[in-house]
Amino acid sequence: MTTLALVDDDENIVASLKMFFEAEGYQVRAYHDGESALPALTDSPPDIAILDIKMPKMDGMELLRRLRQTSELPVIFLTSKDEEIDEVIGFNIGADDFVRKPCSNRLLAERVKAVLRRSRGASAVPEEGDVKAIVRGKLVLDPNRHACTWDGKQVRLTVTEFLILQALATRPGYVKSRDQLMDAAYDDQIYVDDRTIDSHIKRLRKKFREVTDEFDAIETLYGVGYRYTE
């Protein structure tokens, strides 16, 4: 059974969504602020989490920042805010999608399914006929296990980061435009802009440079896109 965590200080919204998703076959865990949710999401991660942004004690943005220090848990922001900057910041710190309230429960359920498809597609249990690991110099990407290593050391990537790197590493030396990377990393229902892709690339470089200071395998071609070089 898929486990879904709801984190929202509006008890009516939580009660409504909990009833709906349980009827859809999910196991639902509910929290009313980020502070109480953080240890639970860290110690016993669900399959996906839906977070409100504006909450007491710890807001959704701060909760996600802290989660991303140790976890690649798929996250959807459910928010009533109507400012583009919130989405830009949210995607930059590792959110997988945004849904604005009020919204229909059915729409939210479809977005949950879309994020889970991406997540599970990058971490399926290996079976006969699964794709081979991508080996590019010191880089090893295993799409079947959503595993990444550099020079034998593990690099923790979110689903979106993994899919972007996979798109680049599949054809080293070939340039991928931002639009191509968006197509590779996001569901058709999710809109992101160029700045979001640039931010993901920045996060990828940072994570690899924490392993190897001189990491320079992702090259920027200004005005064109990015490419992976061995």
pLDDT reported for residue 124: 45
pLDDT grade for 199, boundaries at 50, 70 and 90: confident
Q: In what order do the strands lie in the sheet with 139-142?
A: 134-136, 139-142, 147-150, 153-154
CB within 8 Å of 89: residues ≥ 6 apart: 61
pTM of the predicted model, to two decimals? Answer: 0.65
Please confirm whether the linkage preceding 172 is cis (ω < 30° from 0).
no
> In percent, how much of the chain has pLDDT > 70?
88
* Whole-number Cα distances in Å, 204 to 52, 81, 91, 165: 26, 28, 14, 8
H-helix or E-strand spanning residue 100:
strand 97-100
CA gap 28, 102 in Å, rounded: 20
Reported CATH class of domain 3-120 = alpha beta
- What is the DSSP track for 129-174? TPPPPEEETTEEEETTTTEEEETTEE----HHHHHHHHHHHHSTT-
Residue 136 CA to its chain's centroid (Å): 23
pLDDT reported for residue 127: 47
The DSSP output letter for 176 is B
CA gap 119, 78 in Å, rounded: 19
CATH number of this structure's domain 134-228: 1.10.10.10
End-to-end CA distance of the chain: 41
Contact 61, 87 (CB under 8 A): no
The more confidently predicted of residues 32 and 84 is 32
pLDDT grade for 228, boundaries at 50, 70 and 90: very high
Average pLDDT of the chain, as a whole number:
85
Note the pLDDT tens digit of each residue in 141-187: 988 777 899 988 989 888 888 989 999 999 999 999 988 888 888 76
pLDDT grade for 20, boundaries at 50, 70 and 90: very high
pLDDT reported for residue 125: 44
- In this structure, the number of other CB atoms found within 10 A of the CB of residue 222 comes to 5
Residue ranges of domains in the chain = 3-120, 134-228
- In this structure, the number of other CB atoms found within 10 A of the CB of residue 150 comes to 20
